[in-house]
C-alpha cells in the first residue's frame, strides 16, 4: 500500500489531501478563496497566488495531522503542475519540490485535467477505456481515457467552457459568485420552456461544443425583461439556460459513444468530471443519456468534482503505480493539453 500527499493550487482553491492506494481518503482539506474574489465576481490571479502562499503550509500541516500521517511515512508528493493560473501553480509545485527535497520522497507533477479524469477510479470501479466528459470553469472536452497517461481528445469547445457560461450567466443575472451553484439553485423552480434559447452545435457532425452564442442569447433575453427581473423571470431563464446546456451535452455525448463504438474502442462507461459535473440536473440527464446507450454513467461524488487535493493525490497514486515520477527541475505550465497528439486549442486551457 502506498500513501500520497496531493497539493492543488491551480485556481482559487488551496487544497491538500492524503490518499492511499487502497482508496482511502485519510484527509482532504479544501480552503476556498471565494470570499477574496467575490468583490470582483471572478478569480483574480494575483490575489489567488498570494492567498496560496499565505495558506498552503498551514493546510498541509492540518492535512497531515488530520490523516494521522507523518511526512516521512508518505511514499510520494504530488502537486498540480498545470494547466492553471501560473502564479498559483508555481506556489503548489515549489512547495511540493521543497518537501520532496527535504524528505527524499519522489515528486509527481500532476496534470490537473488528468487528476479530474482519474478521480472517478478513487471512488468507483471503472475500467479503461472510458468516455470522459470533462466540464469545468476552464475546459469543456470529450476524451477517451485509454489508460493512465493515455488520452484521446475527441472534441472540445471552440469558444467558452461550459463552467464559464454558468459563471457569466450568473454574473449577468446578478446571482452571485461562483456562478454554477447559483444558477443551479435558481433554476430549480423555473420553467425551462419559457425562453427559446439556442442549442449550439447540436446535430453537428463532430464532437465539439460552443457556448458563446448561448451566453449572448441569455443576455438578450435578460435585456428584454422588466427591470429588476422578478424571481420567476430569473428562475425561468436559469432553467432555460440549464436545459439548453443539457441538450447540447447530451447530443455531443451520444455522438461520442457512437463514434467510439464505430471505430472499435467501445467505452466501459460514461464518466463526467470537473466542477460542472457537480450539477445534479446535468448528472441526471447524462445518466439517462448513457442508459439509452446501455452504458453506466459514473461521476465522482459531488465534493470531488470541484477542485480538491484528493484528486491530485489519487492521480499521484496512479502515476506511482506506473513508475512515472518527476525530477525536481520539472516546470509549472499554464497550458498542458492531456492529449499531446490533438491539435492545439488557441482559446482554452488557461484554467481547468
Contacts to Zn ion by CB under 5 A: 136, 307, 352
29 phi/psi in degrees, rounded to 5:
-110, 125
Q: Which residue among 3, 4, 7, 11 contacts ligand KG4 (CB under 6 A)?
A: 11
Regarding 166 and contact with ligand KG4 (CB under 6 A), the answer is yes
Is residue 18 classed exposed, middle or buried when 0-12, 13-18 and 19+ CB atoms within 10 A define those classes? Answer: buried
Q: Which residues contact 89 (CB under 8 A, 6 or more apart)?
A: 9, 10, 80, 81, 82, 332, 333, 334
**Do 127 and 296 meet the contact criterion of CB atoms below 8 Å apart?**
no
Regarding 307 and contact with ligand KG4 (CB under 6 A), the answer is yes
Residue 163 touches which member of Zn ion, ligand KG4, none, C-beta under 5-8 Å by kind: ligand KG4
Smallest separation, CB 48 to ligand KG4 (Å): 11
User: CB-wise, 106 or 200, nearer to ligand KG4?
Assistant: 200
**Do 32 and 12 meet the contact criterion of CB atoms below 8 Å apart?**
yes
Between the alpha carbon of residue 64 and those of residues 6, 108, 318, 339, the distances in Å are 11, 18, 21, 33
User: CB-wise, 27 or 311, nearer to ligand KG4?
Assistant: 311
**Per-residue mark of binding to ligand KG4, 126-165 (x: CB under 6 A):** ----------xxx------------------------x--
Smallest separation, CB 258 to ligand KG4 (Å): 26
Regarding 351 and contact with ligand KG4 (CB under 6 A), the answer is yes
**Per-residue mark of binding to ligand KG4, 262-301 (x: CB under 6 A):** ------------xxx-xx----------------------
Smallest separation, CB 83 to ligand KG4 (Å): 9
Regarding 184 and contact with ligand KG4 (CB under 6 A), the answer is yes
Smallest separation, CB 136 to Zn ion (Å): 4
Q: Which residue is nearest to Zn ion (CB)?
A: 352
Beta strands in the chain (DSSP E): 3-8, 13-20, 25-32, 76-82, 107-111, 130-135, 140-147, 150-156, 270-273, 297-298
Distance of CA 101 to the CA centre of its chain: 29
The single residue listed with the C-alpha cell 465576481 is: 41
User: CB-wise, 267 or 274, nearer to ligand KG4?
Assistant: 274
User: CB-wise, 40 or 125, nearer to ligand KG4?
Assistant: 40
Residue whose C-alpha is closest to residue 254's, from 282, 286, 296: 286
Which spans of this chain sit near ligand KG4 (rule: CB under 6 A)?
11, 136-138, 163, 166-167, 178-181, 184, 274-276, 278-279, 306-307, 351-352
Amino acid at each position: 500500500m502506498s500513501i500520497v500527499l496531493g497539493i492543488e493550487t491551480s485556481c482559487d482553491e488551496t487544497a491538500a489531501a492524503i490518499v492511499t492506494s487502497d482508496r482511502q481518503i485519510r484527509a482532504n482539506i479544501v480552503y476556498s478563496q471565494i470570499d477574496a474574489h467575490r468583490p470582483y465576481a471572478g478569480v483574480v490571479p494575483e490575489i489567488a497566488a498570494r492567498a496560496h502562499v499565505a495558506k498552503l503550509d498551514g493546510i498541509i500541516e492540518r492535512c497531515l495531522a488530520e490523516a494521522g500521517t507523518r511526512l516521512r511515512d508518505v511514499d510520494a508528493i504530488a502537486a498540480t503542475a498545470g494547466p492553471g493560473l501560473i502564479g498559483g501553480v508555481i506556489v503548489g509545485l515549489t512547495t511540493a519540490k521543497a518537501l520532496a527535497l527535504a524528505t527524499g520522497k519522489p515528486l509527481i507533477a500532476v496534470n490537473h485535467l488528468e487528476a479530474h479524469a482519474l478521480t472517478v477510479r478513487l471512488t468507483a470501479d471503472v475500467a479503461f477505456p472510458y468516455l470522459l466528459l470533462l466540464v469545468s470553469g476552464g475546459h469543456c472536452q470529450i476524451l477517451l481515457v485509454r489508460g493512465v497517461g493515455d488520452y484521446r481528445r475527441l472534441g472540445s469547445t471552440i469558444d467558452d467552457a461550459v463552467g464559464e457560461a454558468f459563471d457569466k450567466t450568473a454574473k449577468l443575472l446578478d446571482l452571485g459568485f461562483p456562478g454554477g451553484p447559483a444558477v443551479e439553485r435558481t433554476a430549480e423552480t423555473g420553467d425551462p420552456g419559457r425562453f427559446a434559447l439556442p442549442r449550439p452545435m447540436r446535430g453537428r457532425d463532430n464532437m465539439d461544443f460552443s457556448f458563446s452564442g448561448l451566453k449572448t442569447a441569455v443576455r438578450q433575453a435578460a435585456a428584454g425583461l422588466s427591470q429588476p427581473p422578478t424571481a420567476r423571470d430569473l428562475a425561468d431563464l436559469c432553467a432555460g439556460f440549464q436545459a439548453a446546456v443539457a441538450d447540447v451535452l447530451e447530443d455531443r455525448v451520444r455522438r461520442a459513444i457512437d463514434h467510439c463504438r464505430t471505430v472499435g474502442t467501445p467505452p466501459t462507461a460514461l464518466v463526467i468530471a470537473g466542477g460542472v459535473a457537480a450539477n445534479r440536473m446535468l448528472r441526471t440527464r447524462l445518466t439517462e443519456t448513457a442508459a439509452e446507450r446501455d452504458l453506466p454513467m459514473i461521476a465522482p461524488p459531488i465534493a470531488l468534482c470541484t477542485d480538491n487535493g484528493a484528486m491530485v493525490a489519487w492521480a499521484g497514486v496512479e502515476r506511482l503505480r506506473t513508475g512515472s515520477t518527476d525530477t525536481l527541475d520539472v516546470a509549472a505550465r499554464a497550458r498542458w493539453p492531456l492529449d499531446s497528439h490533438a491539435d492545439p486549442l488557441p482559446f482554452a486551457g488557461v484554467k481547468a
